[in-house]
Structure 1
Amino acid sequence: MRLHSFTRSSSLSVSCEEAFQWHRRSGAFERMLPPWMTSQIISKEGTIYDGDSVTIKTNLGVIPFVFKAQHQNYIENKQFEDIQIQGPFAFFKHLHKFEKIDDKKSKITDHIEYSLPIGMLSRFLGNKFIDEKLNKMFTYRHRTLKYDLFLHSKYSKKKLKILVTGASGLVGSNLVPFLTSGGHEVIKLVRTNYKLEEDANHFAIWDSEKKEFVNPEILEDLDAVVHLAGENIAAQKWSEERKKELIDSRVHFTSAICNALIKQLKTLPKSFISASGIGIFGSRDYDDILHEESKLGSGFLANLAKDWEMASREAEKAGIRVVNLRFGTIISLSGGVLKKMYTPYRLCLGGPFGSGRQMISWISITDVLGLILFSISNNKVEGAVNAVAPHAVTNEQFSELLAQTLDRPSSLRIPELFVESLFGEMGRELLLSGQHAKPVKALKNGYEFLHSQLHDAFTYCLGV
């Protein structure tokens, strides 16, 4: 059996103990899964102690497989190891090693030894293919680890108790493991028909008919509610029925949640962080710079966002600090616009919409998580906050940068007529309109963007 090895080391801006503890917490494994790998956790037993294990369904290139690893050789604050007990390799062992640099800095080293099976799979893949995949994966993993540790050390001064609505959506599915791996207690809101497969103490159950919490007692002493629930705005064309669903899921549900918090809890949450969108400004010219106090726009999307933000005023009147995060286009390969554009661009079928001059105010998924934590922790932040990176781009620049990152051409322009005929009002407001928003309030209050340039966001999310 011929062994091959792969090693990657990175310095971290936290102590050796904090870096190690991060890996031991719930959510750490989920944070390490690259978004381009279609991975599903089948089972987890424990965390990283000897004998603990994890089983996932994933793929190696185009080949799907089940991979089960068991942990061994655990030494507190120094190392842990996992070894394949089921999977595509003849042998696979992964050592996670932690070394102290000083009291506030440390070093992590991932060392992998593997052997490919004899036969077709080995000849098809080869160790060069495996090393390329490992290099891409651990580039992403180490960047994620550095970002998460930085954000928690900068904005998490104490451990928090947080209720998250919309936990299964693009933002929520990233936010929950981000918070739990940082040591925070997270409670997810679920409907009464949800099948609880985990600890029931981490779920708040919502009765849609009565518009109240079934178990409000677990929500006492909340530091924050992060309210992300709402139907996907771009999932389908905006028929009148679909518009009603969007309004119900955002405006009416926000009002119901606020009322339930006020009426059912003895101790109100300290803050209510609610999603919103920069679509509230309507369609604007590329040179119209928008800050939080800029005049709001018109159209279905703008009116929806206005009413959405207004619904959270009920919490504000009760004395809860309210923050409305007006998200721009979120850059993440696990969902949203980038996931939809990824395959067409890889097939050389990408390009700008219409004139390409419309502005795209964007934000990386990492800074979405950072801004949420920042908004929870900073009592000076309240009201509308433009959750966008400092440097907006035109639709054409967005297209060109994505194509360059993927090493593909960006020569296919999608005409306005085609967009309107295919998507109607939704296409006009989401694809052919634009807003040039600036994160004035976030910067003024001290938030430090990890991805201020679009190229950096693409590089991280795509693993290049």
Structure 2
Amino acid sequence: MLVHTFSRSSHLSVSREEAFQWHTREGAFERLLPPWMPTQILSRQGSIHNGDFVKLKSMLGIIPMEFHAQHQNYIENKQFEDIQIKGPFHFYKHTHKFEKIDETKSKMIDEIHYSLPFDFVSKFIGRSFVEEKLSRLFTYRHRTLKYDLFLHSKYSQKKLKILVTGASGLVGSALVPFLTSGGHTVLKLVRGNNSPLIPGYVGWDSEKNQFINANLLEGLDAVVHLAGENIAAQKWSDSRKKELIQSRVHFTSALCQELAKLNKIPATFISASGIGIFGSRDYDDILHEDSRLGEGFLAQLAKDWEQASRGAERAGMRVVNLRFGSILSLSGGMLKKLYTPYRLYLGGPFGSGRQMLPWISIMDVLGLILFSMANNKVTGAVNAVSPHTVTNEQFSEMLAQTLDRPNSLRIPELFVETLFGEMGKELLLGGQHAKPVKATKNGYDFLHSQLHDVFTYCLGI
């Protein structure tokens, strides 16, 4: 049996103990799953102690693949291992090692020993393929770990009890494991009468517009309100517009009313909003939080959405409205939709390409949410966008360069308007040159301020 070794190490800005404990918490495993490799957890038992296991189902191209691993050789604050019980390798052992540098710094080493099913394949074909996949995977994992530990070391000194709405969406599905792996307690709001039977969930009765098991919310410190129908999922027909208004404006009003009835209201209410509140603006019209708001359906929707959260403010909560730009993640949103066309040499800017494209990395979305919970000085509207907004053409050019593809296919305005209607005109052909004035003024340092940085992170390059 021909056994190969792959290793990757990183220096971390936290103690060895904190780096190790992060791996023991709920959500840590989910945080390390790369978005280009959709993975379903079939079952799991325990955490990373001896005998604990996890069963996964993933895809290798179009081929479904199961991977069952069991943990062993656990030494607290020093190491743990997982070994393949069932999977594509003939043999696979992954050792996670933690070394102390000083009281506030540490080093983590991932060391993998593996062999492929056939020695001939392993020697002449398989190793380069496997090492390429492992390199991309662990590049992403180590960056994510370093970012998460850095953010929690700055903003998670106090452990909070947090309610998250929209937990299954693009932001929510990343936020929940991010918070729990940082030591916070998270409850997820779900619609349905069965939710009281599920640990960690709070039910919402959509007909009565009230919590089903409000007693679980006692001692709540903060609410992160992300629920709302996907704004770009389909064309904006009259019925679709009503769904968008209902899911954002009406639901937010009802949620704030119910939170105000708790015996002890949460201190902080953070609600999603959109940078589209400024409407479509010229590229030289630089926008900060107090700039004149815009016109159009998207702008009005965002204005009404933010106004609906005033109910929480009247009840005594500190309210923060995060006006998200285009959230960049390979798990969803713009980048996921553009990724395949660009890889197939079909990428290019929309319309003139001169429209400004305010964007933000998914990591900075998580960072700003945590920062907003920890910093009592942050209130009201916050432009959740990178400091360096680019034009649509610059965005397209950078994505093409990162993927080593041309940027020659321009999508005409007429085509966009015909295919997507009003939605395409506002989302794809409009733009806003927004700046995160309030976030930077209050001390938030962006992890990804440059477009190249977020592309390399999201793509594992």
Aligning the two structures, in what range does the TM-score lie when normalised by the shorter sequence?
over 0.9
Q: Does 1:463 align with 2:460?
A: yes
Cα RMSD of the aligned pairs, angstroms, is 1.3
Amino acid of the structure 2 residue aligned with 1:362: W
CA distance in 1, matches of 2:305, 2:170: 19
Match of 1:325 among 322, 327, 330: 322
Equivalence for 2:446: 449
Equivalence for 2:44: 44
Equivalence for 2:89: 89
Does the Cα contact within 8 Å between 2:278 and 2:294 map onto a contact in 1? yes
Amino acid of the structure 2 residue aligned with 1:161: K
Equivalence for 1:58: 58
Does the Cα contact within 8 Å between 2:275 and 2:324 map onto a contact in 1? yes
Give the fraction of aligned pairs with identical amino acids, expressed as a percent. 75
CA distance in 1, matches of 2:101, 2:185: 30
More displaced 10-residue stretch of structure 1: 63-72 or 306-315: 63-72
Deviation at 1:200, TM superposition (A): 3.2
Amino acid of the structure 1 residue aligned with 2:380: G
Gaps of 5+ in 2: none
Q: Does 1:222 align with 2:220?
A: yes
What SS does structure 2 have at the residue aligned with 1:135? helix
Amino acid of the structure 1 residue aligned with 2:346: L
Deviation at 1:279, TM superposition (A): 0.2
CA distance in 1, matches of 2:113, 2:355: 49
Match of 1:398 among 395, 398, 402: 395
What SS does structure 2 have at the residue aligned with 1:399? helix
Match of 1:269 among 266, 270, 280: 266
Q: Residues 125 and 163 from structure 1, CA distance in 2 versus in 1: closer, same or farther, beyond 3 angstroms? A: farther
Equivalence for 1:308: 305
Deviation at 1:62, TM superposition (A): 4.6
Does the Cα contact within 8 Å between 1:227 and 1:272 map onto a contact in 2? yes
More displaced 10-residue stretch of structure 1: 34-43 or 7-16: 34-43
Does the Cα contact within 8 Å between 1:201 and 1:218 map onto a contact in 2? no
Deviations 1:413-461 (A, max 9, x none): 0000000000000000000000010000000000010000011000000
Deviation at 1:2, TM superposition (A): 0.3
Deviations 1:257-282 (A, max 9, x none): 0001112x100000000000000000
Equivalence for 1:33: 33
CA distance in 2, matches of 1:124, 1:182: 43
Equivalence for 2:131: 131
Q: Does 1:203 align with 2:205?
A: no
Deviation at 1:39, TM superposition (A): 1.1
CA distance in 2, matches of 1:125, 1:271: 55
Q: Does 1:347 align with 2:344?
A: yes
Q: Does 1:241 align with 2:239?
A: yes
CA distance in 2, matches of 1:400, 1:291: 26
Match of 1:416 among 413, 417, 420: 413
Deviation at 1:120, TM superposition (A): 9.2
- State the TM-score, normalizing by the size of structure 1: 0.98
CA distance in 2, matches of 1:136, 1:347: 20
Gaps of 5+ in 1: none
Amino acid of the structure 2 residue aligned with 1:17: E
Amino acid of the structure 1 residue aligned with 2:252: T
Does the Cα contact within 8 Å between 2:96 and 2:109 map onto a contact in 1? yes
Deviation at 1:391, TM superposition (A): 0.2
CA distance in 2, matches of 1:418, 1:123: 51
CA distance in 2, matches of 1:43, 1:309: 40
Deviation at 1:209, TM superposition (A): 0.6
How many residues get paired? 461
What SS does structure 2 have at the residue aligned with 1:205? strand
Deviations 1:21-67 (A, max 9, x none): 00000000000001011211111111100000111111335543100
Deviations 1:295-332 (A, max 9, x none): 00000000000000000001101110000000000000
Q: Does 1:357 align with 2:359?
A: no
CA distance in 2, matches of 1:80, 1:128: 27
Match of 1:260 among 258, 261, 285: 258
Does the Cα contact within 8 Å between 2:364 and 2:446 map onto a contact in 1? yes
Deviation at 1:121, TM superposition (A): 6.9
Equivalence for 1:290: 287
1:108-187 → structure 2 map (5 Å cutoff): 108-118=108-118, 126-187=126-187
Amino acid of the structure 2 residue aligned with 1:247: I
CA distance in 2, matches of 1:56, 1:132: 21
CA distance in 1, matches of 2:345, 2:44: 39
Q: Residues 119 and 194 from structure 1, CA distance in 2 versus in 1: closer, same or farther, beyond 3 angstroms? A: farther
CA distance in 1, matches of 2:73, 2:254: 50
Amino acid of the structure 1 residue aligned with 2:335: L
CA distance in 2, matches of 1:124, 1:27: 38
Match of 1:433 among 419, 430, 435: 430
More displaced 10-residue stretch of structure 1: 61-70 or 434-443: 61-70
Does the Cα contact within 8 Å between 1:237 and 1:426 map onto a contact in 2? yes
Deviation at 1:222, TM superposition (A): 1.2
- State the TM-score, normalizing by the size of structure 2: 0.98
User: Structure 1 stretches (4+) deviating beyond 6 angstroms?
Assistant: none
Amino acid of the structure 1 residue aligned with 2:459: L
Does the Cα contact within 8 Å between 2:3 and 2:114 map onto a contact in 1? yes
Does the Cα contact within 8 Å between 2:195 and 2:203 map onto a contact in 1? no
What SS does structure 1 have at the residue aligned with 2:59? strand
Amino acid of the structure 2 residue aligned with 1:384: A
